[in-house]
Structure 1
Amino acid sequence: MKNTFILLSLAFAVNSFAQSSKELAPKKFLNSLSQLCGTAYKGKIVSTSVPEDFKDKELLMYVMQCNSDQVKIPFFVGDDLSRTWIFTLKGERLELKHDHRKEDGVADEVTMYGGTTTNTGTNNIQFFPADQQTVDLLAPTAGNVWYVTVDEFKFTYNLKRVDKESAFSVEFDLTAPVQTDKRPW
């Protein structure tokens, strides 16, 4: 009886640890982003096709605002300061929204699109399929899946349209922070 109790206790402890580890992945991911707060990094397109408005432009991400539930990362493309990625913890899931602004700071007509993870992901990668708000805003985005990776060496932002062959990926070198005075519109 004593051995059975010990085995059951051990099994429960292992299962609880496994469950808590899964539940913590979005939080650990967000914490990894928060550790970069106040720092900027240069990026480069690593996908085969480069969007026309990105060609020959400096790409910077600036981890601007961080708290326990949200991280805001402006993504600068040359002098275009209109894009900010917003990662928000929503219970056991993580949400990614794209905040687009005009030069006067007013919200763009196409803004706050993105998605929420459908599973806990891992500490280093999260997947964001387009949510209903996004599809309502832009019907062709129904097949969009954004995924973001972070480790001690690099951060990648990726977009795959499951109904298309092409993909978009930009990689930022986290080993070489840069100085910038740029701020989003």
Structure 2
Amino acid sequence: MKKKLLLCTMLISVFAFAQQKSGAKQFWENLQKQCGKSFEGQVTEGADNDTFRNKKLVMHVRNCGETTIRIPFFVADDKSRTWVLTYKNERIQLKHDHRHEDGSEDKVTQYGGTTTNSGSSTLQFFPADQQTYDTIPNAAANVWWITLDETSFTYNLRRIGSERLFTVKFDLTKTLPTPAAPWGWKD
């Protein structure tokens, strides 16, 4: 009887563990909760001459699907950048979609990387992929990461082996009016 009870307890534990969501899935679902919302950010790490400083920085979680989330990132009137996150097989891919005002792709676009593990509900790392190396050879040592909690979203870049570090932090407690579409998009 004790063996059967122990076996049943073990099976329930295994089943409960199998039903838990991965860190990537939890992160994805938490980010989807922000869909349609816009937030202002500020540079918290980066060079003093960084072109992003002293400009209005806005992210808009504009397009959320089951496997793709698109987040335009505006730097003042520059609407050329969109972070594209794709969820597949318990991993998340980050790509940077850069456009010109006419909507055409910039020659430096679609770089980024894919998580190597499921990460956590609040943190995902994206080491540079082969496409990044092919597009921007100096960026082969790039690692991007995004943090997400109830009050903030941070986008981060570190170039391993260098002093290059960039972080922009967005306040999720204060929404902004919905901005116009980024370059290359239609409202």
Same fold (TM over 0.5): yes
1:26 match: secondary structure:
helix
More helix by share: 1
TM-superposed deviation, 1:138? 1.2
Is residue 2:69 matched to residue 1:65? no
Aligned to 2:40: 42
**What are the residue-to-residue correspondences of 1:155-174 with 2, within 5 Å?**
155-174=153-172
Tell me, yes or no, if structure 1 residue 11 matches structure 2 residue 14. Answer: no
**Alpha-carbon distance, 1:169 to partner:** 0.4
Provide, for residues 145-184 of structure 1, a one-character-per-residue CA deviation record: whole Å limited to 9, x for no partner. 1000111100000001111123100000000001143321
Q: In the alignment, is the contact (CA less than 8 A) between 1:29 and 1:123 conserved in 2?
A: yes
Percent of pairs identical after alignment? 45
**8 Å Cα contact 1:129/1:145 also seen in 2:** yes
Q: Is the 8 A contact 1:30 1:87 kept in 2?
A: no
Per the alignment, in what secondary structure is the counterpart of residue 156 of structure 1?
Answer: strand
Q: Which moved more, 1:10-19 or 1:123-132?
A: 10-19
Alignment of 1:139 with 2:137, yes or no, is yes
The two structures have a TM-score, normalised by structure 2, of: 0.90
* Structure 1, unpaired ranges of 5+: none
What is the aligned residue count?
A: 183
Q: CA deviation at 1:51?
A: 5.0
> Residues 43-78 of structure 1, C-alpha deviation per residue, up to 9 Å, x if partnerless?
000115245321221000001000111111000001
1:154 to 152, 155, 167: 152
| Rounded Cα–Cα distance in structure 2 between residues aligned with 1:166 and 1:87 | 23
Are the structure 2 counterparts of residues 175 and 131 from structure 1 closer, same or farther at C-alpha, using a change threshold of 3 Å? Answer: same
- TM-score, with structure 1 as normaliser: 0.91
Amino acid at match of 1:91: N
Distance, in Å, in 2 between the alignment partners of 1:64 and 1:160 is 26
SS in 2 for 1:31: helix
CA distance in 2, matches of 1:13, 1:148: 34
Query: In the TM superposition, what are the counterparts of 1:32-111 in structure 2 within 5 Å?
Result: 32-50=30-48, 52-111=50-109
Letter in 2 for 1:163: G
Measured after TM superposition, the shift of residue 16 of structure 1 is 4.5
Moved over 2 A (4+): 2-21, 48-52
